[in-house]
Amino acid sequence: MDIGNRLRFYRIQQNMTQEDLASGIISISYLSKIENNQTSASVEVLEMLCKRLGIKLIEENEYSLLKDLHDWYYQIINRNKEEVARRYEKYVDVIQSTNDSSAYIHFVLFELRYFLLQRDLEKAEEQLNKINLFKDIFDDQMDYFYSKFVGLYHYMKNRFSTAKDFYKLAERILNKSIHIERWEEADLYYSIGLTYSQLGKMSLSNNYTHLALAIYQSRYDLKRSAECHVLLGICYLRTEEYELSEENYLLANKVAESMNDSNLRGIIYHNLGYLYSLQGKHHQAIAEYQKSLKHKLDGNIDGKLISIHGIITEYYSLGEYNSCESWLQEARKLQEENEYRDYNVHFEIYNYLINNPSEEFEKYMQDVALPLFEKRENLQYLIKYSEILGAYFETKFKYKSANRYYTKAIKALKKQNYIY
């Protein structure tokens, strides 16, 4: 890395202004030219600047640290949370004493990915703000990681279109100029496939997921192969190829069972439940959702609430409102343990529906529920609940209001299926 880039990087890391660094050594304008690699400076000046920053002028060979950081990143990708957390504490201390700015930058980037693994979006956003101050000095590999991690950040914020743009930028950098491990390439393809699935572009999702699957199978990575089969199951489900969907879910379940991966099996059973739900097989759907609940880990509150929501939906379709109420109570117990921000909206809607919806229901749907799903661009639930509200107004002989929400549902449906 050029000395100017190094000086700027460490100055920003230490929250120093150019005036702080230049004071008593050189002018601010001269320092600015050095940092932008627009001029060279004497060794004496550079040594004084480095001394003030507490770094050495000449980078020492610290290849082993960079190699360790990449190994840590591999553990992050494989979600080995205990090992990742243990090593993070070690690297926080080690990185402070390194003179290798390349290793430092990789640590800052991988630290961003670590915060995303922890689902700490607040820290991730702070990290992004810090990184943005010096990302213009990145080499191609750093740009690749930055683009990929920003893509994941936006994905986790439900900004799927923006996530796709950053993932595709990472892919272009990969194809243009850098060499990465095959497992990293597969992880990028899987991420792109997942994002296209959220955007409703199932053909593209299918293509990228098959690319990832081929690499994982060649590496005998059973868990990631199973995850690809789950995603393929979702792709086929959304194109109404139900037999292929079920086939991929069952393949994934065989792999998960062989690994004794209970949580993965919970995810698969939930998806099977949704598959049967779409086919109107309500009792089979309920059975799969209940198996999903048994396999999901106790700490997976979000996952359990999602499956309970599925059960409530099926009992509501069957007109078994007492069962709906029982499962709503189960959901409330879990929410007391760990407040969940989104699914309480679903549960509140069903609470109104099974207890004779009134004007209060109208207000909740119009002021809270539908605006939330519109903001999140969650077309699936925007369509579903707009239809429900339209039907409700129709029973009240409020045909103008009914038409408004049926129209909203149709517009969302066209957008979901790209019909114009």
Average pLDDT over residues 145-167: 96
Instruction: Report yes or no: 192 and 161 within 8 Å, Cβ to Cβ.
Output: no
Contacts of 260-266 spanning 24+ positions with Cβ under 8 A: 261/223, 261/226, 262/295, 262/296, 262/297, 263/295, 263/296, 263/297, 263/300, 263/303, 264/223, 264/226, 264/227, 265/295, 266/291, 266/292, 266/293, 266/294, 266/295, 266/296, 266/297, 266/300, 266/303, 266/307
Torsion of the alpha carbons at 289, 291, 297 and 300, rounded to the nearest 10? 0
Average pLDDT over residues 81-101: 86
3-class DSSP state of 116: helix
Give the pLDDT band (50/70/90) at residue 290.
very high
Instruction: Report yes or no: 404 and 387 within 8 Å, Cβ to Cβ.
Output: no
Tell me which amino acid residue 94 is: V
CA dist 191 and 208 (Å) reads 9
Average pLDDT over residues 145-174: 96
C-beta neighbour count of 261 within 10 angstroms? 18
Give, to the nearest 10 degrees, the angle between helix 343-354 and helix 379-395: 20
DSSP 137: G
* Tokens, residue 85: 């957390």
Instruction: Kindly write down the DSSP assignment for every residue of 251-313, as one continuous string.
Output: HHHHHHHHHT-HHHHHHHHHHHHHHHHHTT-HHHHHHHHHHHHHHS-TT-HHHHHHHHHHHHH
CA dist 185 and 171 (Å) reads 9
Average pLDDT over residues 163-191: 93
Average pLDDT over residues 243-260: 96
> pLDDT (tens digit, 9 = 90+) per residue, 5-30?
778 888 887 889 999 999 999 999 99
* Tokens, residue 4: 């100017």
Instruction: Report yes or no: 385 and 365 within 8 Å, Cβ to Cβ.
Output: yes
> pLDDT (tens digit, 9 = 90+) per residue, 319-374?
999 999 999 999 998 887 655 556 789 999 999 999 988 899 999 999 999 999 98
Q: Over the chain, what is the mean pLDDT?
A: 90
Most confident of the ranges 38-42, 94-98, 380-384 = 380-384
Q: How confident is the model at residue 120, as a pLDDT?
A: 95
Give the pLDDT band (50/70/90) at residue 36.
confident
> Among 56-60, 191-195, 271-275, where is mean pLDDT lowest?
56-60
| Block residue for tokens 């109570």 | 329
**Is the predicted pLDDT of residue 223 greater than 60, yes or no?**
yes
Name all domains of the chain by residue range, CATH numbers in brackets: 3-58 (1.10.260.40), 261-355 (1.25.40.10), 357-420 (no CATH)
Q: How confident is the model at residue 58, as a pLDDT?
A: 64
> Among 29-38, 96-105, 385-394, where is mean pLDDT lowest?
96-105
Give the pLDDT band (50/70/90) at residue 38.
confident
- Output the CA–CA distances (angstroms, integers) from residue 23 to 14, 20, 273, 387, in the order listed: 16, 6, 67, 67
Q: How confident is the model at residue 154, as a pLDDT?
A: 97
> pLDDT (tens digit, 9 = 90+) per residue, 55-82?
777 655 455 888 899 999 999 999 999 9
Q: How confident is the model at residue 419, as a pLDDT?
A: 40
- Output the CA–CA distances (angstroms, integers) from residue 257 to 160, 226, 284, in the order listed: 31, 10, 20
Instruction: Report yes or no: 380 and 346 within 8 Å, Cβ to Cβ.
Output: no
Closest CA to 9 of 66, 67, 53: 53
